[in-house]
Amino acid sequence: MDRVDRAETLVAEQRLAAATAAVADEAHPPLDVVAELDEVEVPRPLEQGQALFDSDGPGDAVFRQGEGHRVERHTDVERHVAGTVHVLHFMILQPYFWQMKNKSIRTIEDVKGAKIRVASPVQADTIRILGGSPVFMGINEVYPNIEKSVIDGCINPWEANTSFKLFELVNQYTMMNMGSNIFCTAMNKKKWESLSPEHQKIITENSGLEESARQSKVVCDDLVAAAKKQAETKGPNPQWFTPSPEELAKWEAAVTPAVWGKWVKDNEARGFTNAKQILDDAIGMIKQGKK
């Protein structure tokens, strides 16, 4: 990349940062909705190359799936997103797991009565079914509330453990896959349309499927080893526990039918008559990915 290219890229990055920040100025909160995509959007198979958000605007089909799948377009998301933002890329976080202070989660019985910070309605349903008390709060509120024993801990990925310094307080880790989440990088659509075609081209070339994969790897996957080492060396004598397959089977039997059943029922009530099929397709893709 020559000096001119680097300069153009820098300008594009500066405008991208300003445009992304400008999303908050919109009347609707699209990024708040995207933060709970695990509740309102799940994968289903479509024709390969179909855009995530179909639109007539230039460049709106920037994110394309190469594996013949996309995220289902739901009206709840459309209401906040369509015509408001220009989607650049997504990032899939590492699996969420138990991060507790002075309370070890080893069996289902250990969850009973525990106050757990959750990040989505599905997580909340899971904690309730297990006998705990789900607590919704922003991620920046987790540290002080663990510190003050307002909550016993949280279900979070490694990204949150290191970024928000939870490793300084948490001393009980249960390595159990409690789901994941999707982050979205988007621009205010008016800001996007105000950019020159040249700058749109630079941003587009650094967005989409390839950038989604890169972000997921660099920001999330490559973080795990360093984050765990940080917790081990700088945390308050952390203890690690990984449930046996037999114990995990008990958790799955207790949680899966009720949580997934409620998810299907809730979404059917919202008008998604194919909710069961969407769930089955998602489960099928997960199983295929494990082969």
Q: Are 157 and 91 in contact (CB under 8 A)?
A: no
Distance CA 105, CA 173 (A): 8
Distance CA 115, CA 130 (A): 12
Distance CA 272, CA 77 (A): 13
> What pLDDT was estimated at residue 52?
31
Model pLDDT for residues 150-208, shown as the tens digit of each residue = 999 999 999 999 999 999 999 999 999 998 888 888 899 999 999 999 999 999 999 98
Model pLDDT for residues 213-226, shown as the tens digit of each residue = 888 898 889 999 99
Average pLDDT over residues 117-133: 93
Go through the domains of the chain in sequence order and give each one's CATH number. 3-93+181-206 (no CATH), 95-179+234-243 (3.40.190.10), 251-291 (no CATH)
Distance CA 158, CA 81 (A): 28
For residue 37, pLDDT beyond 80: no
Q: Are 281 and 43 in contact (CB under 8 A)?
A: yes
The rounded mean pLDDT for the chain is 76
For residue 258, pLDDT beyond 70: yes
The pTM of this model reads 0.69
> What pLDDT was estimated at residue 5?
42
For residue 27, pLDDT beyond 90: no
For residue 74, pLDDT beyond 80: no
> What pLDDT was estimated at residue 163?
93
> What pLDDT was estimated at residue 140?
93
> What pLDDT was estimated at residue 134?
96
Distant-in-sequence, close-in-space partners of 222: CB < 8 Å, separation ≥ 6: none
Distance CA 282, CA 69 (A): 10
- Evaluate the CA torsion angle 197, 202, 208, 212 in order and state its sign: negative
- Nearest to 51, CA basis, from 280, 59, 154: 59
For residue 124, pLDDT beyond 50: yes
Burial 100-118, CB ≥16 within 10 A → b, else e: bbebebeebebbeebbbbb
Average pLDDT over residues 78-99: 80
> What pLDDT was estimated at residue 98?
97
Distance CA 92, CA 259 (A): 21
Distance CA 155, CA 219 (A): 19
> How many other C-beta atoms can be found within 10 angstroms of the C-beta atom of residue 80?
18
> What pLDDT was estimated at residue 17?
42
SS3 118: strand
- Tell me the pLDDT band of 41, cut-offs 50, 70 and 90: very low
